[in-house]
Structure 1
Amino acid sequence: MSDSPPGIADLLGVLAYAELTAFLRLAEDATRHAPSLTDRAALGGLAAVEYAHFELLRDRIASLGVDPEEAMAPFVGPLDAWHARTTPGDWLEALVKAYVGTGIALDFYREAFYREAAAGMGEETRSLVDEVLVDEERSQFAVERVRAALEEDPKLAGRLALWSRRLVGEALSQGRYVAEARPALAELLAEAAGGEIGKLVTRLTEEHGERMAALGLTPGP
Structure 2
Amino acid sequence: MTESPDEDYRRAAVDLLGAIAYGELSAFERLVEDAKMAPGIGDKIAIGAMATAEFAHLQKLVERLEQLGADPAEAMQVFRPSFDSFHAHTAPSDYYEGLIKAYVGDGLAADFYREIAAYLDPETREVIISSLEDTGQTAFIVERVRAGIAEDHRLGGRLALWGRRLMGEALTQAQRVAGDRDSLTALLAGGVDRPGLDLAALGRMFARLTELHAARMAELGLDA
TM-score, normalised with respect to structure 2: 0.88
User: How many pairs does the alignment contain?
Assistant: 213
Offset at residue 59 of structure 1 (A) = 1.7
Partner of 1:55: 59
In the TM superposition, residue 193 of structure 1 has moved relative to its aligned partner by: 7.7
Gaps of 5+ in 1: none
Q: 2:208 aligns with which of 189, 203, 206?
A: 203
Q: Please state how far the C-alpha of 1:140 moved relative to its aligned partner.
A: 0.9
The match for 1:77 is 81
The residue that corresponds to 2:48 in the other structure is 44
* Structure 1: distance between partners of 2:196 and 2:219: 25
Please give the alpha-carbon distance, in whole angstroms, between the structure 1 residues aligned to 2:196 and 2:99.
29
**Does residue 64 in structure 1 map to residue 72 in structure 2?**
no
Structure 2 residue matching 1:217: 3-state secondary structure: coil
In structure 2, what is the Cα distance between the partners aligned to 1:130 and 1:54? 12
Post-superposition shift, 1:194? 3.6
Q: Is the 8 A contact 2:27 2:54 kept in 1?
A: yes
The TM-score normalised by the length of structure 1 is 0.89
Closer, same or farther: CA 185–147 of 1 in aligned 2, 3 Å: same
Q: Is 1:181 aligned to 2:186, yes or no?
A: no
The question of whether the paired residues in 2 share the 8 Å contact of 1:193 and 1:200 is answered with no
Report the Cα offset of residue 200 of structure 1: 2.2
Q: Identical aligned pairs, as a percentage? A: 48
The separation in 2 between residues aligned to 1:187 and 1:139, in whole angstroms, is: 34
> Residues 24-35 of structure 1 correspond to what in structure 2 (within 5 A)?
24-31=29-36, 33-35=37-39
Counterpart CA distance in 2 for 1:172 and 1:199 is 14
Larger Cα-atom Rg: 2
Equivalent residues in 2 for 1:62-211 (5 A)? 62-114=66-118, 116-117=119-120, 121-123=121-123, 125-189=124-188, 194-196=197-199, 197-211=202-216
**Contact 2:9 / 2:187 at 8 angstroms: preserved in 1?**
no
CA distance in 1, matches of 2:210, 2:216: 10
User: Contact 1:88–1:97 at 8 Å: present in 2 too?
Assistant: yes
